Structure 1
Amino acid sequence: MWPPLPGEIPAGGGRLLRRLRPGDPATTRAVQEALPEHAREDTFRFFTRRPLPLVDFVALDPGRRVYGLFDGERPIGATAVYDCDEARARVSLGFTWLVPAARGTGANPAMKGALFAALAAAGVREAWFRADAANLASRRALAAVCATWAGFEDAPRLYPDRVSRSVLYRRAL
């Protein structure tokens, strides 16, 4: 499977990205349960589909690699590598979330920096991101990791209560 990524990726500051696998549902459930029920609505308000239950999200697409982010042994978030295109040497990164206590701590840029290094070592030359145009926090976070604006996607983002647009970002690795 391309790109060949390790099962664990050090993310600095005692943090570690661990690949979540269908054969280890206990670890996957622990990552999901780290995000309290009461925080899920706010966490996923800009997701067109929620990556929950996380066990199903991990198992549904064998080409998508989902990583849990751990601070020591404590899960604090997750992210995914998907839409892997070997011919173009590019991937998409997304479905990224952090527990509320980990936001603003540098965990997100550390996680992305570690992923960028692992992806580059595996032969990936660019990473793509999609965000809701109205999600200013996500757009700032992408700019902070040197992702550049690449335009708007034509297809609408459909939510139960509204319609929005996707903004695309890319980062050369």
Structure 2
Amino acid sequence: MEHDLVLSGHGVRLVPLRAEHAAPLLTCTDDVVWRGMTSPTPRTAADMERVVATALAAPGRYPFAVLDAAGRVVGSTSFYDVDRTVGRLEVGHTWYAPAVWGTHVNPACKLLLMTHAFEEWRVARVAYRVDERNHRSLAAVTKLGAVPEGRLRGHRLRPDGTRGASMYFSVLADEWPAVRDRLRARLAGQAVPDDRTHLLLLGGRSGVGKSTVGAAVHDLLTARDVRHAVVEGDALDLAHPAPWEHGVAAANLADVWRRYRALGYRRLVVTSTVSVLEADVLAAAVGDRPHVTSVLLTASDSTAHARLARREHGASLAAHVARSDAAAVRLEAEAAADVHRVATDGRDPEDVAAEVLRLAGW
């Protein structure tokens, strides 16, 4: 789609992408730059000419060449999937020369693009989709203040033929003023608060007191008027037959946290038996490179058995004891060295919760 839209400001200029931009764009591009794209890395002039031609041929896409203050081509970006009738679009197909990574270029481009989208076109939603393995782009979108919406499985076809997941983020019209202010502050060199999720994982064997300590954490934070949410992780896939191999727990956590985060929550407590072994999976489900504190609650066999006996009976008790003992061995063997161990034997839940919160820095 050829267009005549030009966006300028904050040391960059976005001009309509044209065939003549192919040669300078090729000098900006290598395998690292192209990581996360769905097409092979362009290596020749003809390859990049095809990339530009594909961009221009795509309906609903407004491709740009990104110029620096000296007029040099330093990358490309696009509006795409534009539907002004419905009031939505996506920003993507973005890459920059490594020389401008970490500079003003990306926040300046995002400020220009979203200002036009929200304030000129009056859209209601701007979305971003990122390959789940593209950690640099995930970090950049998160830093914008975009809200994570979830993980679309098998959504992307990678250049090697494998399928991958897309992580979705968005900014809505009523969220735009805060995002705009963050971008302006960054471009002005002002400190911008880290808005990522703080994720506290409480793991441990059955009978260790995860739910009780989680409730005590909730009470302490509530007493201090600290905004937070607590999720009982073991209930996220409590079903028969248990759907562990389908990742239901992580998917459900992503859905739950997306709603909390949209309401302004940034602290999340998740209690589940093996949470400390699945920190990477749960962090990915949260979706914004969260600060993670993993705490393994421990208890002796006698303590765990006594606690289980107060709530289970007969064959159910025997089964829970067996699972608890097996989990204790596994957790101690597999929990990483950076997982905090907190003993619960002979301690009040409030005392354990206070220690956990100190470890989390909350």
Q: Give TM-score, length-normalised by structure 2.
A: 0.42
* 8 Å Cα contact 1:126/1:171 also seen in 2: yes
Please point out which of 36, 51, 55 is paired with 2:52.
55
* 8 Å Cα contact 1:109/1:144 also seen in 2: no
- Shift in alpha-carbon separation, 1:161–1:61, aligned structure 2, 3 A: closer
d(CA) in 2 for partners of 1:77, 1:31 = 9
| RMSD of Structure 2 on Structure 1 (CA) | 2.2
Q: Which residue of 1 aligns with 2:73?
A: 75
SS of match in other structure, 2:38: coil
* 8 Å Cα contact 1:113/1:145 also seen in 2: no
d(CA) in 2 for partners of 1:10, 1:149 = 28
Q: Which has the higher helix share?
A: 2
Counterpart residue identity of residue 153, structure 1: L
1:106 offset after TM fit, Å? 2.1
1:24-173 to structure 2, matched below 5 A, reads: 25-26=19-20, 28-35=21-28, 39-49=29-39, 52=48, 53-71=50-68, 72-120=70-118, 121-159=120-158, 160=160, 162-173=162-173
d(CA) in 2 for partners of 1:30, 1:161 = 27
Q: Which residue of 2 aligns with 1:10?
A: 8
* 8 Å Cα contact 2:125/2:172 also seen in 1: yes
Structure scoring higher RCO (CA < 8 A, sep ≥ 6) equals: 1
* 8 Å Cα contact 2:154/2:163 also seen in 1: no
Counterpart residue identity of residue 58, structure 1: A
Q: What percent identity do the matched residue pairs reach?
A: 27
d(CA) in 2 for partners of 1:135, 1:62 = 26
d(CA) in 2 for partners of 1:150, 1:43 = 25
* 8 Å Cα contact 1:153/1:167 also seen in 2: yes
Q: Which has the higher strand share?
A: 1
5+ residue gaps, structure 1, are: none
- Shift in alpha-carbon separation, 1:16–1:90, aligned structure 2, 3 A: same
* 8 Å Cα contact 2:63/2:78 also seen in 1: yes
What is the aligned length?
162
Counterpart residue identity of residue 37, structure 2: F
5+ residue gaps, structure 2, are: 43-47, 174-362
d(CA) in 2 for partners of 1:164, 1:132 = 7
Counterpart residue identity of residue 115, structure 1: L
Q: Give TM-score, length-normalised by structure 1.
A: 0.83
d(CA) in 1 for partners of 2:157, 2:55 = 23
Q: Kindly name which structure, 1 or 2, has the bigger radius of gyration based on alpha carbons.
A: 2
Counterpart residue identity of residue 171, structure 1: V
Counterpart residue identity of residue 114, structure 1: L
d(CA) in 2 for partners of 1:111, 1:150 = 22
